[in-house]
Chains A and B, each alone.
Chain A
Amino acid sequence: MRRRLGPGFWIAACWILLVLAGALLADLLPIARYDETLAGPPRSGPSADHPFGTDGLGRDVFSRVVHGSRVSLGVGIGAVLLGLAIGGPLGILAGYRRRATDAIIMAFNDVALAFPSLVFALAVVAFAGASLRNVLIVLGVLGVPAWTRLIRGATLSFADREFVLAARVLGVRDSRILWREIMPNVAVPAASYAFIGMAVVVVAEGSLAFLGLSVQAPTPTWGGLINEGRTLMDDAPHVVLAPSLVMFLTVLSFNLVGDRLRALTDVRHSGLEPVRQAPPAAPAAPVHAVGDSLLQVEDLRTHFVTERGLVKAVDGVSFTLERGRTLAIVGESGSGKSMLIRSILGLLPGSGVDRSGNVYLDGDDLTRRTPEEMRHILGPRLGTVFQDPMTALNPVRTIGAQLAEPLRVHLGMNRKQAREEAARLLAQVGIPDPGRMLGRYPHQLSGGMRQRVTIAMALSCGPDVLFADEPTTALDVTIQDQVLRLLHRLREERHMAVVLVSHDLAVVREWADEVIVMYAGKVVERGPTAEIFGRTRMPYTEALLQAAPRLTDPAHHRLRVIPGRPPDLVDLPSGCAFQPRCAHARDRCVTEAPELLEDGHLYACWYPTGSPISEGAESRGR
């Protein structure tokens, strides 16, 4: 927690505490009285006795600034608490009750927000009298609409979560749900906004005081001090500068603290994000022969330097792929399957990543290409389709505009040609009435149609290899079937190669020619689909196959359970990464990591299944 807040937060917090302590203890501090005239020579600059110098009447400016902070902080904190005390409950009520309650509260709120607030404040203070209480109340009440809106928004976003639903099913009363489930979650954004609100109020109070509409002399306020010092700017600028600087630092600190607190509400870090630029790997001389395959990947490694340690997301992957073939990469989450294709495509986060190995497209090494050169390869030669078609499409541009863009950029078509080609592509991916579809926006389409559009975009420049990362995971099964059929048909028609990333072994078995099974960043089994599924050698692949329910199994059939869970990538087990979960593991598996062995296909296991040595031998039995 401390590390994530950063040093800026702590410096700012210390400053606020310092000012606060000064305000509280002003009378006890060994400093001159704020109203004592001729405490020093008038208009003298900073000195040991008067660190901020003296003003026109010889009063100690430091003492006046310290005493002035009472008004500024008092109003700042008081007004924010007042706003929260009124706006908070209203916001929670509106967000949790919704319907009529929400409509009424928010209607009043919108009217209140439309009020010109500073004019209102000036008017009220001018009429009711400029006292600390009046200023505090006016600024507090003016903050209520913003508080209501903020708290309502935060409440709404949590009131829909399943844990609130679960609490209601348990029979928890609304008051307790608000108190135990919603409030702790709303508290962080509220605290963040409170600090930012204090900054706003301190500035507002300063402005009022400058205009003489805050607490009246002789009580010093920061805004009042600046106003007084205005006339002395020429020969005693410190009288203006000292309170200005203190006010500036205080407002800055409130904003900083609020800002850092807000960062806390963001997605929690896993500790696996890259933290720094890794040293570039020395380009090692390739020791492998470059064949004439369409795509050849040699010993590809992608490592991240993270807060928790080195993550070997992809660790020594090699394969070749020919035109007209589909290669499937399977594995569970965290196995590195998606990172592998990002690594091949060079689509990696900018810092903290260390990629080595080679990727050859028709014998041309892509790892030696600059990002600018890669831009001309992605699209025309390598197409990509991702899992979530909604995030892959720009929500505010029409389908037609998005489809035409790569055609115009990469293929140099004019507007009319690009539009015709876009319509042709949409027809090719099975979208009815393509002409009309061009004018639509992504949100007007179903999930299946959106995925067809992203496929059409990936195909627009006629790529040689199509990379599809979980293309059907977000889709219904009947639509999944349609999309997989479409990919297969397009592969045939265009004589492309397809790299299909999937967690679903059944999909892979049905649609792939070759399979790579990944576990903890490494290839653990690789070969033709029929071989992998017909003569499974790696115990992990076998366990995965038996863990998935099948329609032909009887009801209430006990599935094979793989004990434990996928390994922590920064703390891999010694030897074979699967060894702690493997029923066949023996001593050698702990001490020595298996290389890929060849026997019909490749597998990384010392005691493969289906061989006499593992079936006859005694396993460690976990």
Chain B
Amino acid sequence: MATLERVAQPRLRFLAGLVPLACGLLAVLIANIPLALLGGAVPPPLLALVPVYFWCLVRPDLMSPAAALAIGFAEDVLSGGPPGVWTLAFVLTYALVARQRDSFAGLSGAVAVMGFAAAAAFACAIAWFTVAGLALLTAGAHLPPLGPIVSELAMTVLFYVPTALVIGWIHHRLVGASRGDI
């Protein structure tokens, strides 16, 4: 099936190029709707990391570092945590995935989920260490506990497969396979 980007006018093609960023921002919005299911026993997943990871592997020309920065910034604003923490985590995770693209892109099946889990663990670790560093700068502050960030990592990995299926469908329908097809 011909994608929108291949057949459409240049203006529509430009709009199709914005789909990864829009998906990332939409994922931020969905994940940060402040409604705690299960009585807040589990934190919401980092849904926005899935489009960043996915399009960083498949179409890095559309998921640029600036787009990762914007998505991380939106996550920071809506999640309410210390400012800049998720921005830094998303950008550094993007850098890791971009540097190891061949390794990550070669994974398939359950191992692909493990690849994403490694990237998500890296992002969560960056966030935890950043908050811990900020806490050390504040007199009398406690180090953040590890339990909640591990729960968030588990939830993010749990939601990876359904989110990646939706994003894959959007990619097929709206974006297109590769830059060479444009």
Is chain B a partner of chain A in the same complex? Answer: no
Mark A residues whose CB is within 8 Å of B.
Answer: none
